[in-house]
Amino acid sequence: MDGSRKPLAKVEGRRRLRHSGITVAWRGTPELDDWVAYIANGTKSKKLILADHSSERRVRTLLSRLHTMSRKDIEKLAKG
């Protein structure tokens, strides 16, 4: 591998959903399917993952759908 190549840029973000009060965080690399979205203010013993090994488009679509959902519905959607 070429040592002069720049590392891939990582993208991170957080958004607090007003309707449910949940904070959703995400991170990934543009152009790759390595994105993950999770509930940031869940319990510390288990991290609730909303999307894992997904595309950027799927994560962005998921975030827009979560705005109208209740807290109970979002936690039901998440994988434990």
Q: What are phi and psi of 37, to 5 degrees?
A: -130, 135
Rg (the chain; Cα; Å) = 14
Q: Return the minimum-mean-pLDDT range out of 14-23, 27-36, 39-48, 50-59.
A: 39-48
Find out whether 66 and 74 touch, Cβ atoms under 8 Å.
yes
Q: Which tokens hold the place of 50?
A: 């909303």
pLDDT tens digits along 1-32? 566 777 788 999 999 999 999 999 999 999 89
Give residue 47's pLDDT.
Answer: 77
**What does the domain layout of the chain look like in residue ranges?**
11-77
DSSP H/E element including 71: helix 71-77
